[in-house]
Amino acid sequence: MRYREALNQALREELEADDNVFIMGEDIGVFQGAFKVTEGLLEDFGEKRVRDTPISENTIVGAGVGAAMGGLRPIVEIMTINFSLLALDQIINAAASVRYMFGGQVGVPMVIRMPQGGGHQLGPTHSHCLEALYLHIPGLLVAVPSTAADAKGLLKTAIRDPNPVIFIEHEALYGRKGEVPENGDAEPMRFGEAAIRREGEDVTIVGISRQALVAADAAETLADEHEIEAEVIDPRTLRPLDLDTIIESVKKTNRAVIVEEGWPHGGVGANLAALIQEQAFDHLDAPVGRVTGADTPMPYSKPLEQAAMPHSEHVVKAVLSTFRDL
């Protein structure tokens, strides 16, 4: 099943399971979603539960927060993560804060879904990876699924969770196939549980969002060409973060490299590097390495865009540099 179909299935199952779940967003109904994640939902669930909205991101998200406070379980689709920046006010000042600032009297059980990522020449207003931005905000949960199974499992959990969840998909993953367990209902996937994609003794590579796949790719090259066995970890959710699994691994390998597509300053890797050195300084044989996207807006021109994104070669190089004699 493809990643986008897995998401569609999760939406369907949760719409069926709970009448208070509804979904709204731009072009999700008649148009069936800019990336076709909501395909067929309008037809099957009707206009009450699958609502096309005007192009008004801040208000759509805010209306979602209000609806959640009023007892519903809204899922808001934002077409692309860059457009969620128009809704930051409602996301940070409302969704993330309401429970806290009203002393727990009311919650915001909502999901804000959006895809991120470059590689399709969409240029500086449509291509960024902003998981670090959302990771920064207390009060939000942040999911970054990289496989079809995780997409489905985590989305179902997100919809049932009583907290506001920023659910970050990746544009380059929608068409990717993966095994998805039948009956996702049996065991909802938990937030805060990392997946170890590959076991290894020599270095820990943590890959975020689509970069979890790039990291796995690099691990194969490292094994084939450099006799380095990498352990590849996909945290799957950034808040809550399964730091224990990462630290356990680093204690075993004594080296860590973090791979993300977003920007370096204040990135997920910057944060994780700080946590790793705080928790496992004595176990490190080399500085924690980071591989990130270029520190620029995403350029349109194809060679520039690809040069701005991290690839397997970058990860291999970064890992090798942690083995350099100091």
Ligand X SMILES: Cc1ncc(C[n+]2csc(CCOP(=O)(O)OP(=O)(O)O)c2C)c(N)n1
User: Active-site residue numbers?
Assistant: 57, 126
DSSP lists the bridge partners of residue 167 as: 113, 143
**Residue 164 CB, nearest distance to another protein (Å)?**
20
**Residue 138 CB, nearest distance to another protein (Å)?**
26
Q: Evaluate whether 69 touches 61 at the Cβ level (below 8 Å).
A: no
Which residue's CB is nearer to another protein, number 117 or number 139?
117
> Beta-carbon neighbour count of residue 104 at 10 Å?
9
Residues in 29-88 at the binding interface with ligand X, rule: CB under 6 A: 55, 57, 79, 83, 86
Q: What is the DSSP string of 159-215?
A: HHSSS-EEEEEEGGGTT-B----S-TTSSPPPTT--EEEE--SSEEEEE-TTHHHHH
**Residue 104 CB, nearest distance to another protein (Å)?**
30
Which residue's CB is nearer to ligand X, number 54 or number 104?
54
Which residue's CB is nearer to ligand X, number 55 or number 307?
55
Which residue's CB is nearer to another protein, number 108 or number 213?
213
Residues in 5-34 at the binding interface with ligand X, rule: CB under 6 A: 26
Q: What is the DSSP string of 30-45?
A: TT--TTSTTTTHHHHH
Q: Evaluate whether 143 touches 112 at the Cβ level (below 8 Å).
A: no
**Residue 132 CB, nearest distance to another protein (Å)?**
13
DSSP summary character for residue 47: T
Give residues in contact with ligand X (CB under 6 A): 26, 55, 57, 79, 83, 86
